[in-house]
Structure 1
Amino acid sequence: MRASFDDYRAMEQDVALDDIDAAEGRRLTMPVLALWGSAGLPSRLPTLEIWRAYADDVTGAEIPECGHFIPEEQPEALLGHLRSFLADEASR
């Protein structure tokens, strides 16, 4: 529990550091897989476009009938996306 709460406590500092990285032109260069649940907050946002502001190679998808906890709510869908992503990366 503590680690989860610490993650939220660090959010303000993380945002500030992300802004500095962006201003200095630092970007994620590794492949990024962004997944979110259809019932979660990211479903109301342009999630892939947001990630593409920080990373060069972003793929992702919305998981239907899912909220915030994808591994618990839709484990098979998560597994399918992970397998596909990893297979694509292995073939590069």
Structure 2
Amino acid sequence: MAEAPASIVRITSLRAVPGERAGLVAAAHENASAARAAEGCRSAEVCEDSSDPQALVVISRWESEAALQGFLAWHRGIAHASLADYAAAAPVERHFAVVS
């Protein structure tokens, strides 16, 4: 049986501190794994930017804005803390509604 489609796509952009890319990748994968385990998450992937080896993008798809906000209310502080030693700046987050 196919899963219900996502209605919200979240894109989080990250940039590694020089020399800390491996740590940022590991922390981003931990955060994506936590998202995938959350109720309402359809998928979460860590992607690298082929034009910039220090940049990563985490793309997650959610069944609803409410599901995403519920996850973020619990996880945002944990996520930012786990990335702090490896990220050059705070993550940049954008949410997009899926157009049907």
Which TM-score tier does this pair reach, normalised by the shorter chain? 0.3 to 0.5
Q: Which has the higher contact order (CA 8 A, sep 6+)?
A: 2
State the TM-score, normalized to the length of structure 1: 0.32
Q: Which has the larger radius of gyration?
A: 1
State the TM-score, normalized to the length of structure 2: 0.30
